[in-house]
Amino acid sequence: MPTNYSTLGNISTRFQQSADSTTGLGSYRMEDISDINKTHNTNYPLLIIEPSTSTVENLNRSWERHSFTSYLLEPDGYNDSTSDVEHYDSTQKLFSKFLDYLMATRTGAFGGVSVNKKGVKVERVKNLGNDKLIGVKVQFEVDMPSVLSEGSGFTSTLPTNDLRAQFKTTQGVTVSSSNLIWTSVNNPYEIIEESDLSNDTVPYSIPAFSNVSNSWIFEGHFPHQTMMFPNFAENFPASDNFSIFILVKLKDDNDTEKRTLFGSRVTAANSTTDDYFRLWYTNSGYTSGGRKSQLGVEVDNLNSVEGNNEVNMYKEEVSPDIEFDKWIAIGFINDKTNQESRIVVNNNEPFKVNNYYDDYQNDIGQKDLFLGAFAIATFAYSASYASMNGEMKDVIVYQGALNDKSAKRVNEYLMRRPID
């Protein structure tokens, strides 16, 4: 059972905290606008937020979208020399400050707050209530963990068996203009980038970190932006079973290439040929055949019975397209034991492919910066391979091939994270 859902009272408490932080705001109340005259001796400017209507698209998704109608008002007195336009502008600016504080609310006893930045509507109103109030009416949406998920059988905890590393953007992040270090919350592992490494063969850059959205920003250009889990190959057992999960929001930029979400490559000893894998996606501009807005896995194994094999993992009869401009959880399970790999998106059923990444340890020979490392957003220094364009929050790595039930649990945990 989840314990970090939000009731309307919890949300109102968040609103009150944000209102208290908004300099210049006189008072806040959650009530219907028709009740505006029931409270006397009000301190203005006044913020009224009416109780929400809400929807839950999927109980397993565990997020509830609340639609709020709010008013930020101040008196428009008979002898007031302030023009209507000045009242409208000042109240809208004040509401903007309140919204900034609300969007900065990321943690707490009741989980995160996510304001839908695409869903704000502003109207100008006047002559409200006995005090002839003037100001702005603002409609906005907020996503919060849902109380309805309490009865859905959902669990918000991660499977712990074989959990190797968990990276969260809310902690362990150190970033400067030339260096990036992201420390796992559960084990002493790091994703690290340094722009001055001596074996760089092509210039590249580190992704930007947004303190507003608590996410890494990848712009999809070349030289690639990337981050790495060093020595990924060497630190895994000979079974080569592993599972990787990420929380991302991808942009549909009409690009014609396959963009890499993550991958890795190693070089066979005494050989110039690489083994590699990458998980890729296409968007609406993809023109080289196959469906648009899909995921795929590309694997080249020197010792694999499959050889060089590229498989479209999303098919129309299997599951829907991936969604853009929306946070989605994606998991990749490399199951050498059963000679297959699996992809799971959100809480959809995993899709199996008769291909997998083979013989990490046996193939490691001469390495450059990427060889033997798990890389986010790209897997090779080459303009031929487009990199991810979008945002990323979390990375979770398991030292084993999770079963379908556990893989869906990890994605459900990620989907429950603060998402904007």
pLDDT for the residue numbered 232: 61
CA atoms of 175 and 206, how far apart (whole Å): 9
- Host H or E run for residue 328: strand 328-335
| pLDDT at residue 181, rounded to an integer | 81
Percent of the chain at pLDDT > 90 equals 23
Tokens 């001596």, residue located: 198
CATH class of 163-415: mainly beta
pLDDT at residue 359, as a whole number? 54
**Separation CA 8–CA 27 (nearest Å):** 19
pLDDT value, residue 235 = 57
Phi, psi of 219 (to 5 degrees): -100, 0
> DSSP assignment, residue 43?
P
What pLDDT is recorded for position 71? 98
Residues 283, 288, 289, 295: is their CA dihedral positive or negative?
A: negative
The total of other beta-carbon atoms located within 10 Å of residue 48's CB is 25
Task: Write the DSSP assignment of 152-198 as a string of letters.
Answer: TT---SPP-TTEEEEE-TTSSEEE-SSEEEEE-SSSS-EEEEETT-T
Amino acid letter, residue 146: S
CA end-to-end span of the chain: 24
CATH architecture of the domain 8-151 equals: 2-Layer Sandwich (3.30)
The reported pLDDT for the residue numbered 279 is 84
Distance CA 395, CA 390 (A): 15
Contact 414, 155 (CB under 8 A): no
Listed residue (284, 279, 290) closest to 248, CA to CA? 279
**Whether the domain at 8-151 and the domain at 163-415 fall into the same CATH topology:** no
Q: Which residues of the chain have pLDDT under 70?
A: 1-6, 57-63, 78-79, 105-113, 117-118, 145, 147-156, 177-178, 188-189, 192-204, 230-240, 265-275, 287-292, 300-321, 358-373, 380-383, 417-420
What pLDDT is attached to residue 204? 62
Domain ranges of the chain: 8-151, 163-415
**CB count, 10 Å around CB of 143?**
22
pLDDT of residue 391: 92
Contact (Cβ atoms closer than 8 angstroms) between residue 284 and residue 254: yes
Give the pLDDT of residue 273. 55
- Tell me, what's the pLDDT at 198? 36
Token pair in block for residue 368 = 């450059």
Identify whether the C-beta of residue 18 lies closer than 8 Å to the C-beta of residue 47: no
pLDDT at 288: 63
Strands, E assignment, 220-307: 227-229, 242-250, 259-267, 274-281, 295-300
